[in-house]
Amino acid sequence: MADGLSSPLSAPPAVETEVMTINIGPHHPATHGVLRLVVDLEGEVVRDLKPVIGYVHTGIEKSCEDKSYWKVIPFVERMDYVSFFFQMEAFCGAVERLVDLEIPPRAKYLRMIFLELNRIHSHLVWLGTTALDLGAISMLWYCFRERERILDLFEMATGQRMHTRYFQVGGVIEDIPVGFEEKLRKFIADMPVRVGQYEALLDRNEVFLQRTKGTGIVPRERLLELGVTGPLLRAAGEPWDMRKTFDYLAYPEMDFKIPVGTVGDNYDRYRVRLAEIVESVRIVEQSLDALPEGPFIADDRKYVLPPRSELPTSMESLIHHFKLVTEGYRVAPGEVYYAIESPRGELGCFVLADGSAKPARVHFRDPSFINLQAFKDMAVDTYVADMIVSLGMLDPILGGVDR
């Protein structure tokens, strides 16, 4: 908010003011979850800030150590509850690397379709709630209208709207149903138009522009020091996207761009995420066009459940099914760190196997948790109102932060 008057941001004011410490949250709608901010205010200017987290810590990592590998999947989905497919992919991918299991091509493409739909979903939730913080209430309804269509697609394919447990170690649990493709094609035809409509609503909105442009700037080098990844880093001009740099799923075969910003302010963060929605739509479309025929899950009966139809006729399948459901499969000792690009940055999953049927340690490197460290740099010496915008643009999901 640059104005012609003397700004209290940089120079200390002529009148002596008192620094006041106030609490924002943990139950405040603008903190996007159960985040508590202890803020030192001098007048309206933030002078110091400390995020206090842990209010929704549920010990998921510890609980995972007491579950066989296939039962961990629904647990880890509930960490970052907006990007559940990504948690599943990180965990399943880590276990697949531990047991050296190659997933069939169709499963790779199906996973990519759902991951990218999930990315659109996550960015829509972000856009709706952040615009709501800025007073653009109608954005929430428009974004949630499209989000609803994505959730309907999830429900059609997986039976659940959220926390779908769709990815399995070895592939996906079911093939997409009849009619799914048609519905999805309608959606991906509509989505770029919708993004254009969001832009038309926000890009020429004077209030939105004044509150986002030039606020919350953190230099690129500082972001890298702080380990920040994802749209925040890309908005500062660093074209770092793990879908491009690392070889996982079938992303190397996809044609998409990495949107980057120039200044690294809140406006760039908004632009980068909107552009990412369009790129995700392109990936979904290409995956759908190139969707290979074949099995949707690996045919390794030591790790993958046999098809239901075989159970009444094949004793061997029945035994495999029984062993997998009761004890689960054992994984040879080893440790793997597998990282993917989630909507918020690098989502890493560390799995330590000790030879039993349960993981000895499951750790998630959650991007929200790491990115939250940059919040102080974004918000100190800005107005409270800008701090709220920066927090929205940071897009932390507290379920992922606290795990």
Partner 1 sequence: MPDAPGLELIRGEIEQDHPGAILDTSFDRGQATLVVDSEQVLEVLRWLCDAPGQGYRFLSSLHAADYLPATPRFAVHYELLNRNRVERLRVKALLADPSAGPVTAGDPPPPPVAKASSGVGSPTAPPAEGLPEIDSCVELFPTADFQEREVFDFFGIVFRGHPDLTRILLPEDYVGWPQRRDFPVGGEPVTFTYNERQYG
Interface with partner 1 (CB under 8 A), residue from 40, 47, 63, 165: 63
Report the Cα–Cα distance between both ends of the chain, in Å, rounded. Answer: 36
User: Binding to partner 1 (CB under 8 A): which residues in 93-152?
Assistant: 97-98, 100
Residue 253 DSSP code: G
User: Binding to partner 1 (CB under 8 A): which residues in 186-245?
Assistant: 224-228, 240, 245
Stretch (H or E) spanning 155 = helix 137-158
Least Å distance, CB 225 to partner 1, is 5
- CB nearer partner 1, residue 295 or residue 334: 334
- Strand partners of residue 42: 19, 45
Say how far apart CA 22 and CA 136 lie, in whole Å.
26
For residue 247, count other CB atoms closer than 10 A to its CB. 10
Q: Is 301 in the site for partner 1 (CB under 8 A)?
A: no
Phi/psi of residue 372, each to 5°? -60, -25
Interface with partner 1 (CB under 8 A), residue from 62, 145, 257, 302: 62
Say how far apart CA 269 and CA 13 lie, in whole Å.
31
Strand blocks (E) in 94-249 = 167-168, 171-172
Q: What x/- string results for residues 344 through 363 when contact with partner 1 is judged by CB under 8 A?
A: --x-x-x-x-x-----xx-x
Q: Is 57 in the site for partner 1 (CB under 8 A)?
A: yes
Structural tokens at position 306? 């046999």
Q: Is 339 in the site for partner 1 (CB under 8 A)?
A: yes
Q: How many residues bind partner 1 (CB under 8 A)?
A: 40
Least Å distance, CB 304 to partner 1, is 20
Q: Is 246 in the site for partner 1 (CB under 8 A)?
A: yes
Three-state DSSP state, 363: strand
Stretch (H or E) spanning 364 = strand 359-365
Q: Is 283 in the site for partner 1 (CB under 8 A)?
A: no
Task: Name the site residues for partner 1 (rule: CB under 8 A).
Answer: 53-54, 57, 59, 61-63, 65-66, 97-98, 100, 224-228, 240, 245-246, 334-337, 339, 346, 348, 350, 352, 354, 360-361, 363, 365, 369-370, 372-373, 402-403
